[in-house]
Amino acid sequence: MDTNYKENNLKKKIVLLWVVASTLKLCLASLGTKNELMSDLTLDDTQVKDNPKLLPKNKKQKDFLQETLEITRLMGIARLLHYSTKQHMRHIQHPLAKNLCIIFDHFDQSSSDKKQVVKALNELKRILFNPDDTTYPDGVLTQTYFFRIFFILGQFLTDPNGKKLYDRYQNNPLLKENFVFDKWYGKDNKLNFALSFFRSIDTRQFLHEDVPQKNVFHSDLSFNSLYPKYLYFNVDLIKRKKVEFLDMKKVYQFEYIDQHKVCSYRAVGFLTRERRKVHAYLYENSKWTEFMNDNKSSKFIIIPCPLVVVYEKYAEYHRVIPGGD
């Protein structure tokens, strides 16, 4: 009797364990399906690495750059700058510009020497690196590198004493197309000038407002600043309260409005952090394309809110001032 009781009790425990195991297996299967959907862009990459037969013709394993966070970050930044600065960057005699142009040439000629590209990436890292970088989150570091590139080039191309800043701005295409020439009156009613290049926008403005604006029309200080062909924004990470995603069917716009004009922009480039890699997205030929190092795709699943946004001007309207000429 006692033996039968123990056997029945053991059977019940085995059945219970089987039910729990089956339920857990089902849950894990559902989670695995979800993870597969979230990361299927990396599955093809893995297959290519593990199966040389899947490599493109004339390509060997050694021809591909490593897909580390650091390399994808620098390549993503270079990809956006290739779109907006390629035409003028090669005329700048600075090591930063020289190494960016090596990567630009790699984008244009896929047969370029990978060793040269790796050397250029290492040199860029050396120029941009700061010991404090180890304390920054990955997303902030991507924004910081982008900021430093423009800061270094802006300093190199202008007089540190600010002399003839307007003339230098007007005569240098890279400055004129990528930097805002700010004008404002100080408290002494003196007109001041400065170049700015990297501004901040929060997720609420970027994702949810129809057209975010920088409106200085009623400002007593700002006056008829010059707005370039391209604007660069970091999307504020600190104010993010939840994970949000891009709608690639939406046209993301931005406007500058002052006493004399309205400048209208649309987003043409993003940098995102996905699966511990930085991805670049560019709007070319009326469609979005995703880049991660030399890999590209036009099929998207879920795209997180970006770290960096590039806007391109598509219209500028000048106001008619009463009493003006």
The residue segments making up the domain with residue 242 are 65-318
pLDDT digits (tens, 9 = 90+) for 181-218: 988 877 777 888 889 988 889 888 898 888 888 777 65
- The position carrying tokens 């425990």 is 13
Q: Are 112 and 91 spatial neighbours (Cβ–Cβ below 8 Å)?
A: no
Segment 26-38 mean pLDDT: 34
Distance CA 118, CA 102 (A): 10
- Over 80: is that where the pLDDT of 102 sits? yes
Report if residue 13 sits inside a domain: no
Distance CA 92, CA 153 (A): 9
Report if residue 3 sits inside a domain: no
Q: How confident is the model at residue 162 (pLDDT cuts 50, 70, 90)?
A: low
Report if residue 43 sits inside a domain: no
Which CATH number does the domain housing residue 300 bear?
3.90.70
pLDDT digits (tens, 9 = 90+) for 228-253: 999 999 998 777 767 889 999 999 99
Report if residue 71 sits inside a domain: yes
The total of structural domains in the chain comes to 1
Tokens matching residue 193: 């000038």
DSSP class per residue in 7-33 = HHHHHHHHHHHHHHHHHHHHHHHHHHH
Give Rg (Cα) of the chain.
26
Report if residue 40 sits inside a domain: no
- Over 90: is that where the pLDDT of 97 sits? yes
Q: How confident is the model at residue 222 (pLDDT cuts 50, 70, 90)?
A: low
Q: Are 150 and 198 spatial neighbours (Cβ–Cβ below 8 Å)?
A: yes
- The position carrying tokens 């600010």 is 162
